[in-house]
Every structure is written in C-alpha cells, then in structure tokens.
Amino acid sequence: MNSTFTKILRFILALGLIVFGLNKFIGFMPMPELPVDADNFMSSLQATGYVLPIVGALEVIIGLLLLFNKAVPFALLLLAPISVNIVLFHLFLDLPAIGGALVIAVINVILIYKHWKVYKPLF
C-alpha cells in the first residue's frame, strides 16, 4: 500500500485537489472558455451560493488528508463521487478538456485498488 508509486500518485492527486479546491475560493487561475451548455451549468452551480464552496472545501480537505497520509481510504471514498461528477461534466458538456478529469479519476481508482483490503468488508 505504501510503495513509491502509490506515494507519488497520492502526492500528485493531493496537490491537484488542493490547488483546484483553493481556486474555487481565491480564483487565482482564470476560468477557461467553456461551451455554452457547460458555462450555463457552472453559472447555475455558482448561483446557488453553496455548491462550489462545499466542493472546493471537500477538495482541499481530501487533498490535505492525502498529502499528510491521514485516513487515506476515507479520503479516497469521499473523492469518488466528486471525480465521477468531474468526468461526467467533461464527458457531456466539455469533452475536449476531459484529460485532467480522467487523470484525477484514474489516480483515484488506482489508489482505491491499492487500498482494496480496507474496503473489502463493505462488500
């Protein structure tokens, strides 16, 4: 579970989550140009006033848990629905930019697989 490969993937995932989670609060990276449907969707999420801040906070918390190697299996389970939604957003609304979403989802799946012994009692 703690091979060098796993540590590198966990570190990459943690940094990505922290950066993109903080960006939802601070906005230090400009929002890329989105197709109309994707822009409408993101605008509606932003208009709620709570969805993006909660997702951003979860991303930062999960990223910190992964970075400091604390409750990693729990953090990966919390990240699973977020990564699925990121992939689905890009699959249906912004296909050309799906690369980053796939990287996050694949790393999440690999790390869940590496910790499968912990999840086995759930099934």
Our measurement of the distance from residue 17's CA atom to the centroid of its chain's CA atoms, rounded to an integer in Å, reads 6
Q: Which pLDDT does position 1 carry in this prediction?
A: 58
pLDDT along the chain (123 residues), means of 10: 89 97 92 93 95 96 97 97 97 95 97 95 88
**3-class secondary structure, 43:** helix
The tokens of 26 are what? 């601070």
Tens digit of each residue's pLDDT (9 = 90 or more) over 22-43: 999 998 999 889 999 999 999 9
Q: Which pLDDT does position 14 carry in this prediction?
A: 98
Tens digit of each residue's pLDDT (9 = 90 or more) over 49-58: 999 999 999 9
Burial of 37 per CB tally in 10 Å (0-12, 13-18, 19+): exposed
Reported pTM:
0.92
